[in-house]
Amino acid sequence: MELIITEKDNAARRIAEILSEGSATAERRNGVNVYRWGDTRVVGLSGHVVGVDFPPEYNDWRDVEPAELIDAEVTKEPTQENIVTTLKTLSRRADEAVVATDYDREGELIGKEAYELIREETDIPVSRVRFSSITEREVRNAFADAEEIDFDLAAAGEARQIIDLVWGAALTRFLSLSARQLGDDFISVGRVQSPTLKLIVDREREIEAFDPEDYWEIFADLQKNGSGFEAQYFYDDDGSEAERVWNEADADAAYADLTSVDAATVTSVRRRTRTDSPPTPFNTTAFISAASSLGYSAQRAMSIAEELYTAGYMTYPRTDNTVYPDDLEEDVLLDEFVGSPTFGEDAESLLEQDDIVATEGDEETTDHPPIHPTGEIPSKADISEDEWEIYELVVRRFFATVAEAATWERLRVVSEAGGRSLKANGKRLVEPGYHAVYPYSSASENHVPDVEEGEELSISEVRLDAKQTQPPRRYGQSRLIETMEDLGLGTKATRHNTLEKLYDRGYIEGDPPRPTALANAVVEAAEEFADRVVSDDMTAQLERDMTRIANGEATLEEVADESREMLQEVFDELAASREEIGEHLQESLKADKTLGPCPECGESMLVRRSRQGSYFVGCDGFPECRNTLPLPSTGEPLVLDETCEEHDMHHVKMLAGRDTFVHGCPRCEAEKADESDDEVIGPCPECGVAPAEQRDEGGDAAEGGDAEEGGELAIKHLRSGSRLVGCTRYPDCDYSLPLPRNGDIEVTEEFCEEHDLPELVVDPDSDDPWELGCPICNFEEYQARNAVEDLEDLNGIGAATADKLAAAGIESLEDLRAADPDGIAAEVQGVSAGQVQDWQSELEA
């Protein structure tokens, strides 16, 4: 039997399809797909199925000096037991194995890991095939001419694994121990995350150190036959043109000269045409950047891309490649879009071009093509709105890369008025070219009319604008990812995750991200004692060392030992400053949690955590001062920069994924609750008396006075800031319904027939009032909606799949847990029994 191993299931399926000419069938083993035909089996890994780690005796952070990790043994253990077992079982029956992982360094290492797992079972020959894209021709050629695993290249990848683990773990433990942060809130450091964090911290330092400078600019409105355009004053500054005037007296003088006349004379007119080349194919970074200008975070863009890839609508989203492979036939792919309601016309117009030549970027790699649509086109109804917007972006980017260049006409008009110079730059799109199919890049025009030299133009207005130089702008997420790529930090598959990690670790907040006090302290400590780990030099050096290993000029051991020596030197310096570093980190952690002064004792109020794990605001003077304030029960509190003027307290935001909200000032929220009265709206369905009964009983007061029942529902404000409809007999009756956190709530005269409750309207006087309706009906709808969203949180279920599942009666996690996998597979197209089993096991976990 011949065993073929790929890097992922998707590649396994496609390779089996090609090599078997479509006759391969799939079977599940230990939850892993195995494709078979004749005497061949193909199995897909899931990237690395083994991972590096220290032996178990190093597990307890408190028992092991961090520096001991430097020379600790590094072992490899399976991390994906199911896949490892399946691979080993298959290899025992195989006569030969072929490694067909991705054609890049990490793919070589993943292949070598598979090789070693096979070697634990058998000594069958193991070969390696390499192909640049999974197409019939490439794959067949590769299998006809199998090669050997490149163990040097794999060793280069292993050096990276070891160095990253040793540096990351030793320094992370050192900082966490020194600041006594051993729980979920440990303090992490790493070769990629720390230089990335330093980028953000450095930029914030520049902003803080920035000293704005005053300057002035002067604009004049010129008129030609009733059509006006704007011109700007400029002067000669040592041979170059300058617009900014740096002192007020000069600006006033120029302004006075320009206002002393009422016409300007044209002194020069220059016309130029400029071609504007279409953009290059999408790699991951360019894709994230384009999606970001549509308002998607890096993480969200990648997660949608993943779903569209899995559904078969676009190619693999993690790629550095910006050159379409030779086997991509652009005209054939364009042809797929002819007839599409959204894309048909554009595709046809592109096909009418004399020849279709795609643009190329600078980077050409061998593992995956640039991101492009596959030609299988979803209908709008198949996928969510966000998915469609991203899909359209990918399609239109492909269109743009095969479209013609645009042509602009630039018109520059210089004129003189009162001895001063004015200039106006016009631009007009003459040939829209790729802009016709790609509306995402700016094509805005600036109209400047045709004028001739010597012509007189009347001046209708002159403006003197006082301005100030601005500090550099913060990096947005996509700009950060671009900068990481320029510096060689991280990879196409990890950069967006690194940013998420910085958010999760409490190092950055907001978008554009800003560093917390903790982040500043970590970067400062690293700069002083372990400069390498916050510098992109470490990655640059590692890349050079990896190249040497891959070329056989150095060994893994030499490179790793040299790195260990450097880390040892870092620790020699660190040891003496352990307490100092710890104190600084602890102060910063406290600063990130400080809200403002305690009104009772003047100490600071801090965000704290109770023994039960819930968050509250407590006084730093505890136990002498026991003043506290509640916080909402959902989410992780984040202290914002914004403060409440009345209480000098920072506002608090509660981070809870899609339910994230701003709580505001906890004192204001508590006071608001104290001041508001409960508003009764009807009988409690648990313990109340229905209106019908009340009517039957007439005015009989004796029955209605029973304390065991007769509860009523009221709109209540809690001190934690939340509102609810709850029973007046609370805590004897704890019936409650949620209400929105914000907005005025109006109780209307309309009643819900089913529940005997009035319908509610939120923000009745606003432009966009929300008819919430009966609170019980609203709660039931809310639960149903949440159940569907919970489903979408499972791996591989996007809006498209959730929609199909709902049609088959699977509308909640409970439904899915109880479902019969084979039944679902039979009923829902595109969902396999194996997938359902995966979701069910994910639920159990």
Instruction: List residues with catalytic annotation.
Output: 316
Q: Is the dihedral of CA 807, 809, 812, 818 positive or negative?
A: negative
Which of 600, 595, 579 has the alpha carbon at shortest distance from 639? 595
Map residues 433-472 to x or -, x wherever contact with DNA holds by CB under 7 A. Answer: ----------------------------------------
Q: How far is the CB of 74 from DNA (least distance, A)?
A: 9
Contact 422, 264 (CB under 8 A): yes
Please report whether residue 387 would count as binding DNA according to CB under 7 A. Answer: no
Among 91, 132, 161, 415, binds DNA (CB under 7 A): 161
Please report whether residue 108 would count as binding DNA according to CB under 7 A. Answer: no
Q: Which residues, at least 6 apart from 446, have a Cβ–Cβ distance to it below 8 Å?
A: 425, 426, 427
Pairing of strands 712-717, 679-683: antiparallel
Q: How far is the CB of 793 from DNA (least distance, A)?
A: 12
Closest to DNA by CB, 187 vs 395, is: 187
Q: How far is the CB of 321 from DNA (least distance, A)?
A: 13
CA distance 130 to 537: 31
**What is the full DSSP assignment across 344-389?**
HHHHHHHHTSSS------S---SS-PPB-B-S----GGGS-HHHHH
- Tell me how long the chain is: 845
Token digits of residue 823: 């039944």
Among 384, 497, 577, 586, binds DNA (CB under 7 A): 497
Q: How far is the CB of 826 from DNA (least distance, A)?
A: 23
Q: How far is the CB of 52 from DNA (least distance, A)?
A: 5
Among 16, 94, 98, 110, binds DNA (CB under 7 A): 110
Closest to DNA by CB, 175 vs 757, is: 175
Please report whether residue 58 would count as binding DNA according to CB under 7 A. Answer: yes
Among 477, 491, 516, 778, binds DNA (CB under 7 A): 491
Please report whether residue 46 would count as binding DNA according to CB under 7 A. Answer: yes
DSSP assignment, residue 404?
Answer: P
Stretch that binds DNA, among 5-13, 234-242, 398-406, 440-448 (CB under 7 A): 5-13
Q: Which residues, at least 6 apart from 685, have a Cβ–Cβ distance to it below 8 Å?
A: 713, 735, 755, 776
Q: How far is the CB of 494 from DNA (least distance, A)?
A: 4
Among 81, 140, 182, 206, binds DNA (CB under 7 A): 182
Among 176, 289, 322, 801, binds DNA (CB under 7 A): 176
Please report whether residue 173 would count as binding DNA according to CB under 7 A. Answer: yes
Closest to DNA by CB, 578 vs 672, is: 578
> Phi/psi of residue 480, each to 5°?
-65, -45
Contact 177, 62 (CB under 8 A): yes
Closest to DNA by CB, 416 vs 842, is: 842
CA distance 499 to 195: 12
Stretch that binds DNA, among 102-110, 719-727, 747-755, 781-789 (CB under 7 A): 102-110
Residues 283-312 contacting DNA, CB under 7 A: 306, 310
Q: Which residues, at least 6 apart from 565, have a Cβ–Cβ distance to it below 8 Å?
A: none
Among 19, 42, 98, 169, binds DNA (CB under 7 A): 169
The reply to whether omega before 195 is within 30° of 0 (cis) is no
Please report whether residue 78 would count as binding DNA according to CB under 7 A. Answer: no
Is 6 strand, coil or helix?
strand
Closest to DNA by CB, 49 vs 258, is: 49
Please report whether residue 493 would count as binding DNA according to CB under 7 A. Answer: yes
Closest to DNA by CB, 197 vs 437, is: 197
Stretch that binds DNA, among 58-66, 373-381, 573-581, 632-640 (CB under 7 A): 58-66
Please report whether residue 500 would count as binding DNA according to CB under 7 A. Answer: no
Please report whether residue 8 would count as binding DNA according to CB under 7 A. Answer: yes
Please report whether residue 584 would count as binding DNA according to CB under 7 A. Answer: no
Please report whether residue 34 would count as binding DNA according to CB under 7 A. Answer: no
CA distance 260 to 249: 16
CB-based burial, 599-623: b 16+ in 10 Å, e otherwise: eebeebbbbbeeeeeebbbbbebee
Map residues 755-794 to x or -, x wherever contact with DNA holds by CB under 7 A. Answer: ----------------------------------------
Which of 352, 274, 284, 364 has the alpha carbon at shortest distance from 325? 364
- How far separated are the first and last CA of the chain, in Å rounded? 35
Stretch that binds DNA, among 156-164, 222-230, 253-261, 332-340 (CB under 7 A): 156-164
CA distance 644 to 659: 23
Please report whether residue 559 would count as binding DNA according to CB under 7 A. Answer: no
- Name the β-bridge partners of 724: 716, 738
Among 22, 39, 62, 238, binds DNA (CB under 7 A): 62
Q: How far is the CB of 403 from DNA (least distance, A)?
A: 30
Please report whether residue 501 would count as binding DNA according to CB under 7 A. Answer: yes
SS (H, E, C) 632-689: CCCCEEEEEEEEECCCCEEEEEEECHHHCEEEECHHHHHHHHHHCCCEEEEECCCCCC
Token digits of residue 516: 């917390």
Q: How far is the CB of 54 from DNA (least distance, A)?
A: 5
Residues 631-650 contacting DNA, CB under 7 A: none
Among 160, 593, 663, 667, binds DNA (CB under 7 A): 160
Stretch that binds DNA, among 57-65, 115-123, 402-410, 444-452 (CB under 7 A): 57-65
Among 164, 392, 416, 678, binds DNA (CB under 7 A): 164
Which of 94, 96, 90, 98 has the alpha carbon at shortest distance from 145? 98
Residues 592-621 contacting DNA, CB under 7 A: none
CA distance 505 to 513: 13
Tell me the C-alpha to C-alpha distance, in Å, between residue 840 and each of 504, 819, 821: 27, 9, 9
Stretch that binds DNA, among 54-62, 325-333, 520-528, 747-755 (CB under 7 A): 54-62
Please report whether residue 89 would count as binding DNA according to CB under 7 A. Answer: no
**Angular region, 279: left φ>0, alpha ψ -120 to 50, beta rest:** beta
Contact 90, 118 (CB under 8 A): no
Closest to DNA by CB, 59 vs 470, is: 59
Please report whether residue 273 would count as binding DNA according to CB under 7 A. Answer: no
Please report whether residue 7 would count as binding DNA according to CB under 7 A. Answer: yes
Q: How far is the CB of 359 from DNA (least distance, A)?
A: 25
Please report whether residue 98 would count as binding DNA according to CB under 7 A. Answer: no
Number of residues counted as binding DNA (CB under 7 A): 57
Q: Is the dihedral of CA 654, 660, 664, 670 positive or negative?
A: negative
Give the rounded distance of the alpha carbon of 449 from its chain centre: 45
Among 26, 28, 47, 647, binds DNA (CB under 7 A): 47
CA distance 622 to 372: 59
543 membership: H or E segment, kind and range? helix 537-550
Closest to DNA by CB, 197 vs 350, is: 197
Which of 301, 335, 319 has the alpha carbon at shortest distance from 372? 319
Q: How far is the CB of 515 from DNA (least distance, A)?
A: 16
Closest to DNA by CB, 48 vs 741, is: 48
Q: How far is the CB of 722 from DNA (least distance, A)?
A: 31
- Residues that bind DNA in the complex, under the rule CB under 7 A: 7-10, 44, 46-49, 51-54, 58-62, 69, 79-80, 102, 104, 106, 110, 160-161, 164-165, 168-169, 172-173, 176, 182-183, 186, 188-194, 306, 310, 318, 490-494, 497-498, 501, 795-796
